[in-house]
Amino acid sequence: MTTTATTLKGQPLDRAILDSMLRRRMFYTPSFEIYGGVSGLYDYGPPGCALQANIIETWRKHFVLEEDMLEVDCSVLTPHDVLKTSGHVDKFADWMCKDPKNGEILRADHFVEEVLELRLKGDKEARGQKFEEKEEDPKKKKKKHKGIEAVKLDDAVVKEYEEILAQIDNYNGEQLGQLIKKYELKNPATGVEPSPPVAFNLMFQTSIGPSSNLPGYLRPETAQGQFLNFSKLLEFNTQQMPFASASIGKSYRNEISPRAGLLRVREFLMAEIEHFVDPEGGKHHPRFHEVEDIKLKLLDRHTQLSGKTTITEVSIGDAVKTKLVDNETLGYFLARIHLFLEKLGVDQTKIRFRQHMANEMAHYAADCWDAELLTSYGWIECVGCADRSAYDLSVHAQKTGAPLIVRERLDQPKVIEEWAVEIEKKKFGPQFKKDGKAVEAAVLATTQEQREKLAKELEEKGSFTIDVAGVKDGKVEVSKDLVSIQWTKRTENTREFTPNVIEPSFGIGRILYSLIEHCYWTRAHEGGDEARGVLSFPPTIAPTKVLIVPLSSNKDFTPVARKLSQKLRSLGVSSRVDDSSATIGKRYSRNDELGTPLGVTIDFQTIKDGTITLRDRDSTTQVRADEDKIIAAVQSLVDGKKTWKDIETELPAFEGQDAEVPVR
Amino acid sequence: MTTTATTLKGQPLDRAILDSMLRRRMFYTPSFEIYGGVSGLYDYGPPGCALQANIIETWRKHFVLEEDMLEVDCSVLTPHDVLKTSGHVDKFADWMCKDPKNGEILRADHFVEEVLELRLKGDKEARGQKFEEKEEDPKKKKKKHKGIEAVKLDDAVVKEYEEILAQIDNYNGEQLGQLIKKYELKNPATGVEPSPPVAFNLMFQTSIGPSSNLPGYLRPETAQGQFLNFSKLLEFNTQQMPFASASIGKSYRNEISPRAGLLRVREFLMAEIEHFVDPEGGKHHPRFHEVEDIKLKLLDRHTQLSGKTTITEVSIGDAVKTKLVDNETLGYFLARIHLFLEKLGVDQTKIRFRQHMANEMAHYAADCWDAELLTSYGWIECVGCADRSAYDLSVHAQKTGAPLIVRERLDQPKVIEEWAVEIEKKKFGPQFKKDGKAVEAAVLATTQEQREKLAKELEEKGSFTIDVAGVKDGKVEVSKDLVSIQWTKRTENTREFTPNVIEPSFGIGRILYSLIEHCYWTRAHEGGDEARGVLSFPPTIAPTKVLIVPLSSNKDFTPVARKLSQKLRSLGVSSRVDDSSATIGKRYSRNDELGTPLGVTIDFQTIKDGTITLRDRDSTTQVRADEDKIIAAVQSLVDGKKTWKDIETELPAFEGQDAEVPVR
């Protein structure tokens, strides 16, 4: 298992060089840069936008189409009441500290993490050991050691720090405050201890309508819209369970101090699935057998709490059998998430599934596993897979009275015998007047045992006394002409239940960035200039599939390039013509950086005999054949039906006009 | 030319019935309905969501891929400064009135329109004429005549009202206020005249970051993100002009009183193109010749101002020649928009292009044409095509100093002779101290004529006097040791210019709703029950392509249905299995309402000989053949390569298990 970030070819990953390449090729760029930018907001340029669209298309095929999910598109603007009920108004917060000296606002967990890591580095320095910079930015070489003092720590202290870091996501605000006090953690920028952590709600607030009287938020997740539509979706699915809804759309979180590029942003694209399942019967999944042999790398809750990060590699079938993963449906989705990431081209040695610890889980979750990808920023949560139990449907149903439930016809009717209460409404109201509802509620809230006792009292004394908070002296007498309690028998033909929800939730931007790191490597060139970047995206995912390069600016090449580009377009294959005056080598190099898997050259031979060359981005080898054969090869490569090795055996090799032959 | 809304088959369109069908089939539904809903916010259910995705995919192919546009995805959250510069903070507003009696907030132009239309209807009633209800809701039959009093108006007044209505979009707030006063327009709900119109900014406001110190808005259009990235996009396009960027994403407008379903909402999906073009040389378009013969129905500005709505049908080539449409690039996009709408399945008799009047145009526009579609709500603006001139790039460049310009190498260097000013910086600063910049600016701002005069003065008197506002008494003397003014000659090798922008801007929700109305019709049934709805979407656009119907719940049918569905999926054809217990007729009828173009039945014959039937939604005729032939037929229909007529001639007809045969 890899533990530090490398390129696809195992080279050390130099993030500054990669970042500058991504900027230059406009994968993404800080939003509003000419206005100085706003942290946590990014724009995707053409290659980033195409990459995002291809990831989304793959996601839609892999999940929505493959499993007949019901895709919906719900409002981002959400009124206060909805998010109050869901718990987000009260609980969707991070812990924030303020530096009293310079006013800097710090995210408490990040602050504790940063200072402890600095101390551990200082310790290693004092012991004369080398350490790896986790978030080193070579552009800032001078600042590299800022905050690090070469101070040797006791072995016991080192162990304490490491154990804290292994479960850093498990602390609440109070606990983070205690850590700051206990270890006297100070802001490296000022040398001052920050204020105790306070909760900061992460939702963006606005108001809806002209009179500003309807407070609302930008949704922090797409899930709520799906829950609120549950009854309509069940009806659309002709009342059949289980089923899943899905949604792709933007969500918003007002991060305290965004950092790490695309990995922690304030506006982001999510793809979320809500799979609704009967909570009884073990949450089986009808297609679990299709995935049970798939092996996953798991980091469970107990391992983390013991201060370790050891991975268990195990088939999902065994993981569910041993209850390491709670149930089949959760397990099914973990395996499907794994297959999806594999399809995108994620490096298989850089995936793990990490279970949330109790305090770390969102307020609604019963269990949660994150698919994490290893990048130069460390292990990054890219997909969450939570069991939200019946939490959301229950709270919304309770608040609104909407029946967010499933009614299932029972094969065998169920006979129920029990003590039943009947209220004489006509007499009850006039008797208790304004207290009527409270008294009625108290009577109806009684348990079976209590009812049995009250029934006896009614029979023996003709009345009973019951506690009703806030009415008279808290005791109310109810006589038998107002209420009857009888042992009754009834038959139920339907069963009602609130489904549980398994929620796989994908952060598309984080997946996109991690994928870029996993596909990136550098190639040395014979020219002796510095190594050139390559992004080896799978052809299905690559932003553009084919680069068309006329050898020179000769006018005869233009119509050939245009026609070829049209033919490819009609086959659904995206291409770009580069007829700039740069050398062929430079033009190919530019497209290696863009991750374009195939290149076609049009030269003087093309004009004579109609043959063109096809170049493979990863090996830089070329073949030459007539246009039809090359187009067929392109299509089979882009569809994933053939590999470059297949093409090399089918079509004659070509070595020629590529002036700058790279060292492989 | 059609002038009132009808179904696809020319039947009168009953909107209440259509609305209820769209609700039942979950095309869309009010957001947060179980919380009482929020006006102007809608969720798309599975068929609406799929329809939207297909419209977007068609748009991307028709525009972005076909013309190599640079697609970007920019932030929705936008800081205040950007929208202040663009003019939206000051000018992006509607006029709002308040009813002093009940506090109701009215959009001023809609209010004037509504009251005048009521009076015209009252006049017709008084004259004993029939009138058509434009926004009648049959559910509210009782309220139908609310506000209408049968009062006969003078013929001259009728004409005045009609002329006002023909240019209702042309009035500003003051003018609307004058109309309210002049005609004593009163709120029908209270009988009271509302307060004078005030501007209400339509942007949703929020604040970014933990200390709430960065005010921002949700973008009202996707355009600004594209403009701010202009220099990077030009660089990405290897400095070549013209080029276009494009973006698909949500935008937000805090409508004063949303109404008319999907047509006026607060959150909506837009697809926008910014085509950057050299303002010199007539804004030619290299592909204009491909579209010049396409005929469009145009309603120009002058016709509207004369109080009429007469259409001119003319080829776009002639329209540009006669300057009815300003230039080729604008004309090219009008024609391309027309072709796009045609591809979606919009009714060709229900499209027109309407030119904006001067006051109606957005603050940035130099000219603008709307593609309008006729619906039961009247003519609806679905696509705007504006010439934004150099407005946006200029104001952002001016504000930020970023060079949002094109530098073009001149084929022939240009020799320029002129009076040039040279400042002696070293002496100038010490001489004027804090006023130095102001004086320098005043000197540099001089015209050629002025410079000639000043040069003479310098030569003759050794100094000149110049007006500098705010410095001393407004007059400043500048001596010849501080500045020289000479007749000079220089050669320019490059030309710098700010491109103009042609912006086709698509409201996807409005197109989607209008398309539904255009594709809707009802079919009578032999059973005698009420007519059933059909949505005749083209197969490429339809939410789901194939309905798979097992004849009964017989277990043998299940694997056949599943296998068929998998085969179709691998061909990229979306299908849905309906194995509910409803009759075949009912199941087909449900899918006619969903707009599914094809239906496949699996019956006992299928188990015997592997043949299946294929049903056409629009004609309800069926053919029967073995699975491979049927799948081939499905694919050719969905790709648009064959029509149902072709299939009927190729495969044997089938008449059978469809129990409820419709009357055609």
User: Does any domain span residue A79?
Assistant: no
Q: Is A38 on the interface with B (CB under 8 A)?
A: yes
Residue among A52, A57, A85, A232 with most chain B CBs within 10 A, to mutate:
A232
Could you tell me the CA-to-CA distances from B581 to A206, A240, A406, A496, A541 in Å, in that order?
47, 12, 19, 22, 42
Tell me: do B163 and B254 sit in the same domain.
no
Q: How distant is the Cα of B85 from the closest Cα of chain A, in angstroms? A: 11
pTM of this prediction?
Answer: 0.87
- Decide if B65 and A569 are in contact by the 8 Å CB cutoff: yes
- Decide if B35 and A400 are in contact by the 8 Å CB cutoff: yes
What is the CATH number for B284?
3.30.930.10
- Decide if A49 and B73 are in contact by the 8 Å CB cutoff: yes
What is the CATH number for A113?
3.30.40.230
- A635, two tokens: 């299509």
Q: Is B208 on the interface with A (CB under 8 A)?
A: yes
Residue among A22, A49, A105, A545 with most chain B CBs within 10 A, to mutate:
A49
Q: Residue B590, Cβ neighbours under 10 Å: how many?
A: 18
Q: Which of A71, A200, A252 sits opposite B50 (nearest CB)?
A: A71
Q: Which of B42, B210, B267 sits opposite A96 (nearest CB)?
A: B210
Q: What integer is the mean pLDDT of B42-61?
A: 97
Tell me: do B244 and B294 sit in the same domain.
yes
User: Does any domain span residue A304?
Assistant: yes
Rounded CA separation B70/A47 (Å): 9
Tell me: do A231 and A338 sit in the same domain.
yes
Tell me: do A69 and A113 sit in the same domain.
no
- Decide if A38 and B77 are in contact by the 8 Å CB cutoff: yes
B451 residue type, one letter: R
Q: Order the strands of the A367-375 sheet from edge to edge.
A: A70-71, A243-252, A267-277, A500-507, A378-389, A367-375, A351-355, A295-299, A312-315
Q: Identify the CA nearest to B370 among candidates B200, B511, B199.
A: B511
Are B360 and B168 in contact by the 8 Å Cβ rule? The answer is no
- With CA atoms as reference, the chain A residue closest to B40 would be A209
Q: Identify the CA nearest to A67 among candidates B103, B562, B556.
A: B562
> Domain total for chain B?
4
Q: Residue A428, Cβ neighbours under 10 Å: how many?
A: 18
Tell how far CA B349 is from the center of its chain.
Answer: 19
B137 residue type, one letter: D
Q: Identify the CA nearest to A167 among candidates A257, A4, A334, A300.
A: A300
Residue B299 has pLDDT above 80, yes or no: yes
Q: Identify the CA nearest to B478 among candidates B448, B505, B441.
A: B441
Could you tell me the CA-to-CA distances from A547 to A51, A216, A564, A595, B96 in Å, in that order?
16, 47, 11, 10, 54
- With CA atoms as reference, the chain B residue closest to A75 would be B43
- Decide if B29 and A214 are in contact by the 8 Å CB cutoff: no
**Cis omega before residue A242 (within 30°)?**
yes
Mean pLDDT of chain B: 90
pLDDT for A131: 52
Q: Residue B103, Cβ neighbours under 10 Å: how many?
A: 9
Tell me: do A235 and A383 sit in the same domain.
yes
- A447: containing domain: 411-493
Residues in A 79-98 with any Cβ partner in B closer than 8 A: 79, 81-82, 96
Tell me: do B457 and B380 sit in the same domain.
no
Residues B558, B560, B563, B564, CA torsion sign: negative
Q: Is A75 on the interface with B (CB under 8 A)?
A: yes
Mean pLDDT of chain A: 90
Tell me: do B246 and B382 sit in the same domain.
yes
- With CA atoms as reference, the chain B residue closest to A43 would be B74
Q: Is A78 on the interface with B (CB under 8 A)?
A: yes
- A606, two tokens: 């093309």
Share of chain B above pLDDT 90, in %: 64
pLDDT for A657: 56
Are B169 and B360 in contact by the 8 Å Cβ rule? The answer is yes
User: Does any domain span residue B86?
Assistant: no
Strand partners, B386: B368, B503
Are B626 and B633 in contact by the 8 Å Cβ rule? The answer is no
Q: Is A655 exposed, middle or buried (0-12, 13-18, 19+ CB in 10 A)?
A: exposed
Q: Cβ contacts (< 8 Å) between B229 and chain A: which residues?
A: 29, 43, 45
Rounded CA separation B208/B421 (Å): 46
Residues of chain A with pLDDT under 50: 1-2, 133-145, 658-664
For strand B351-355 and strand B295-299, is the pairing parallel, antiparallel, or unpaired? parallel
Q: CA angle at residue B84 from B78 to B87, to 5 degrees?
A: 110
ipTM of the complex: 0.86
Tell me: do B49 and B170 sit in the same domain.
no
Tell how far CA A395 is from the center of its chain.
Answer: 24
- With CA atoms as reference, the chain A residue closest to B205 would be A206
- Decide if B32 and A71 are in contact by the 8 Å CB cutoff: no
Please enumerate in sequence order all residues whose Cβ is within 8 A of that of B459, keeping only pairs 6 or more positions apart, or say none. Answer: none
Q: Phi/psi of residue B237, each to 5°?
A: -85, 25
User: Does any domain span residue A224?
Assistant: yes
pLDDT for A527: 65
Rounded CA separation A466/A423 (Å): 15
- Decide if B229 and A29 are in contact by the 8 Å CB cutoff: yes
pLDDT for A662: 43
Residues B173, B179, B184, B186, CA torsion sign: negative
Q: Identify the CA nearest to A424 among candidates A484, A486, A485.
A: A484
- Decide if B228 and A33 are in contact by the 8 Å CB cutoff: yes
pLDDT for A362: 73
Q: Is A194 on the interface with B (CB under 8 A)?
A: no
Collapsing DSSP states into helix, strand and coil, what is residue A113?
Answer: helix
What is the CATH number for B585?
3.40.50.800
pLDDT for B140: 41
Tell me: do B428 and B486 sit in the same domain.
yes
Tens of pLDDT, residues A651-661: 999 987 544 44
- With CA atoms as reference, the chain B residue closest to A509 would be B73
Q: Is A587 on the interface with B (CB under 8 A)?
A: no
For strand A546-550 and strand A575-577, is the pairing parallel, antiparallel, or unpaired? parallel
Q: How many CA atoms lie within 13 A of B552 on its CB side?
A: 8
- Decide if B73 and A82 are in contact by the 8 Å CB cutoff: no
Q: Order the strands of the B70-71 sheet from edge to edge.
A: B70-71, B243-252, B267-277, B500-507, B378-389, B367-375, B351-355, B295-299, B312-315
A244 residue type, one letter: A
Rounded CA separation A357/A374 (Å): 20
pLDDT for B529: 67
Residue among A73, A227, A238, A553 with most chain B CBs within 10 A, to mutate:
A73
Tell me: do B104 and B185 sit in the same domain.
yes
Q: Is B204 on the interface with A (CB under 8 A)?
A: yes
Largest CA distance in chain B: 113
Q: Order the strands of the A214-218 sheet from edge to edge.
A: A77-79, A214-218, A205-208
- With CA atoms as reference, the chain B residue closest to A48 would be B72
**Cis omega before residue B559 (within 30°)?**
no
Rounded CA separation A16/A10 (Å): 17
Are B86 and B396 in contact by the 8 Å Cβ rule? The answer is yes
Q: Is A232 on the interface with B (CB under 8 A)?
A: yes
Across the A:B interface, residue pairs with CB atoms under 8 Å apart total 190
User: Does any domain span residue A518?
Assistant: no
Tell how far CA B515 is from the center of its chain.
Answer: 14
Residues in A 253-292 with any Cβ partner in B closer than 8 A: 254, 256-257, 266-267
SS3 content of chain A, % helix, strand, coil (to 5): 40, 25, 35
- With CA atoms as reference, the chain B residue closest to A222 would be B43
Q: Is A28 on the interface with B (CB under 8 A)?
A: no
Tell me: do B231 and B325 sit in the same domain.
yes
- Write down the number of H helices and E strands in chain A: 22, 29
- With CA atoms as reference, the chain B residue closest to A201 would be B210
Q: Phi/psi of residue B308, each to 5°?
A: -120, 170
pLDDT for B573: 92
Q: Identify the CA nearest to A517 among candidates A375, A352, A306.
A: A375
Q: How many CA atoms lie within 13 A of A644 on its CB side?
A: 17
For strand A463-467 and strand B532-535, is the pairing parallel, antiparallel, or unpaired? unpaired
- Domain end: A493, A518, A535, which one? A493
Q: How distant is the Cα of A203 from the closest Cα of chain B, in angstroms? A: 10
Tell me: do A113 and A248 sit in the same domain.
no
Residues in B 373-402 with any Cβ partner in A closer than 8 A: 396, 400, 402
A66 residue type, one letter: E
Q: Residue B456, Cβ neighbours under 10 Å: how many?
A: 12
What is the CATH number for A479?
3.30.720.200
- Decide if A32 and B210 are in contact by the 8 Å CB cutoff: no
- Decide if B29 and A211 are in contact by the 8 Å CB cutoff: no
- Domain end: B201, B232, B248, which one? B201
DSSP-assigned letter for residue A60: I
pLDDT for B657: 56
- Domain end: B133, B168, B201, which one? B201
User: Does any domain span residue B430?
Assistant: yes
User: Does any domain span residue B534?
Assistant: no
User: Does any domain span residue A619?
Assistant: yes
- Decide if A76 and B267 are in contact by the 8 Å CB cutoff: yes
Collapsing DSSP states into helix, strand and coil, what is residue B536?
Answer: coil
- Decide if B200 and A210 are in contact by the 8 Å CB cutoff: yes
Residues in B 212-231 with any Cβ partner in A closer than 8 A: 214, 216, 218, 225, 228-229
- Decide if B402 and A34 are in contact by the 8 Å CB cutoff: yes
Q: Phi/psi of residue A359, each to 5°?
A: -75, -15
Q: Phi/psi of residue B354, each to 5°?
A: -115, 130
Q: Which of B46, B72, B105 sits opposite A46 (nearest CB)?
A: B72
